[in-house]
Amino acid sequence: MAFKPSQRSHNKFKEIPLDIRPVMNLMVVLIPILLYSAEFVKLSIRELNLPPASSGKIGPGEQKQEKEKRFGLTVLISKDGFYVGNKGGYLSGTGEENVSREEAQPTIAILEDGSYNFAELQKVLLEIKNKITGQGFVDEKSIIISAEADIPYKHVIRTIDHVTIYTDENGEQKELFPQINIGQIF
**Ordered structural domains, the chain, with CATH:** 69-182 (3.30.420.270)
Is the predicted pLDDT of residue 179 greater than 70, yes or no? yes
Report the predicted TM-score, pTM, of the whole model to 2 decimal places. 0.62
Beta strands 142-147 and 74-77, pairing class: parallel
> How confident is the model over 72-104, as pLDDT tens digits?
889 999 998 999 988 777 776 655 565 565 666
Local confidence band at 54 (pLDDT 50, 70, 90 cut-offs) = low
CA distance 93 to 149: 22
Least confident of 9-13, 73-77, 153-157, 172-176: 9-13
